[in-house]
């Protein structure tokens, strides 16, 4: 297996890490792949090494809203550590890449054996709780432009790239706003020289400027990860 670059796995003692790696295998996550459905039994957990997964909440017939994101800093399926057999949210790949996939049975056995894994996941659950709560407040109080800047930074951190393929329709879906609002916000960021966007291809041009344009939730997310897990969340290099 290729070198593991997942923050939670890297924190484990060597013996615990090797057992967890042996319990699963590397898989490729493809764009738009659904990894779990809300209220459906969970069969595998995922530790992303590259790429990222959006956690989406759906209400009635509405298309859904992204309330969280999982990349190489975390794990998809952490509810299994709480003995909950079904997924609470819809999970779809938004940034393709590689992940360690472990079936629920072997994962539970390794969790029972590893006090270090138990501690890390308990802290990561706290991080996710804070992320979910922060997303609700961000949607209510922050404007589309700063929220878009925050989302692009979060995506860049997890994708480890300054280039993304995404449409205005997709961004509107993730942010829970109309397409016209995303078009205006993206146009402002582009006019300010922070991003370049053309025919679905987006590139972060000025990382520092994008951080300055983002709402306070971006730094709050990184701060809570650092305080809870013990080190700063993965970030992309400045462009």
Residue ranges of domains in the chain: 7-138, 142-229
pLDDT per position as a tens digit, 176-235: 788 888 889 999 999 999 999 888 788 999 999 999 999 999 999 888 888 777 654 555
Please state which CATH number belongs to domain 142-229. 1.10.10.10
- Over residues 32-55, the mean pLDDT reads 95
Question: What mean pLDDT, rounded, does the chain reach?
Answer: 89
Beta pairing partners, 196: 203
Higher pLDDT, 233 or 100: 100
Distance, in Å, from the CA atom of 108 to the CA atom of 15, rounded to the nearest integer, reads 16
Domains 7-138 and 142-229 share a fold: no
For 164-169, the CB contacts below 8 A with 24+ separation are 164/95, 164/201, 164/202, 164/203, 165/31, 165/200, 165/201, 165/202, 166/200, 166/202, 167/200
Is residue 101's pLDDT more than 90?
Answer: yes
Q: Which residues contact 114 (CB under 8 A, 6 or more apart)?
A: 12, 16, 19, 20
Distance, in Å, from the CA atom of 98 to the CA atom of 165, rounded to the nearest integer, reads 18
- Over residues 71-83, the mean pLDDT reads 95
- Over residues 141-170, the mean pLDDT reads 86
Higher pLDDT, 15 or 63: 15
Q: Classify domain 7-138 at the CATH topology level.
A: Jelly Rolls (2.60.120)
pLDDT of residue 239: 34
- Is-contact 88 36, C-beta < 8 A? no
pLDDT of residue 1: 45
Predicted confidence band at 159 (pLDDT cuts at 50, 70, 90)? confident
pLDDT of residue 116: 97
- Over residues 150-179, the mean pLDDT reads 82
Q: Where are the beta strands (DSSP E) in the chain?
A: 25-29, 34-36, 44-48, 52-57, 65-70, 90-95, 97-103, 163-165, 195-198, 201-204
pLDDT of residue 238: 38
DSSP 176: T
Question: What is the full DSSP assignment across 70-111?
Answer: E-TTS-B-GGGGGT--B-SSEEEEEE-EEEEEEEHHHHHHHH
Neighbours of 74 (CB within 10 A): 29
Higher pLDDT, 48 or 239: 48
Of 138, 135, 144, 153, the closest CA to residue 180 belongs to 144
Predicted confidence band at 3 (pLDDT cuts at 50, 70, 90)? low
């Amino acid at each position: 297996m290729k070198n593991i670059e997942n923050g939670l796995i890297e924190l484990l003692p060597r013996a615990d890490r090797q057992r967890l790696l042996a319990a699963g295998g590397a898989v490729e996550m493809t764009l738009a792949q659904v990894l779990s459905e809300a209220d459906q039994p969970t069969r595998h957990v995922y530790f992303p090494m590259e790429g990222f997964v959006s956690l989406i909440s759906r209400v009635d017939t509405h298309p859904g809203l992204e309330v969280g994101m999982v990349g190489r800093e975390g794990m998809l399926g952490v509810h299994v550590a709480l003995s909950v057999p079904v997924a609470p949210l819809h999970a779809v790949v938004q940034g393709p890449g590689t992940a360690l996939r472990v079936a629920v049975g072997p994962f539970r056995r390794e969790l029972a054996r590893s006090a270090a894994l138990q501690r890390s996941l308990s802290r990561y659950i706290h991080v996710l709780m804070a992320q979910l709560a922060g997303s609700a407040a961000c949607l209510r109080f922050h404007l589309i432009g700063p929220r878009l800047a925050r989302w692009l930074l979060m995506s860049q951190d997890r994708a480890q790239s300054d280039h993304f393929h995404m449409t205005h329709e997709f961004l509107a879906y993730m942010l829970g706003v109309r397409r016209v609002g995303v078009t205006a916000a993206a146009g402002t960021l582009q006019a300010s020289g922070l991003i370049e966007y053309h025919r679905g291809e987006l590139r972060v041009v000025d990382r520092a400027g994008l951080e300055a344009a983002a709402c306070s939730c971006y730094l709050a997310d990184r701060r809570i990860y650092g305080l809870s897990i013990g080190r700063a969340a993965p970030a992309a290099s400045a462009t």
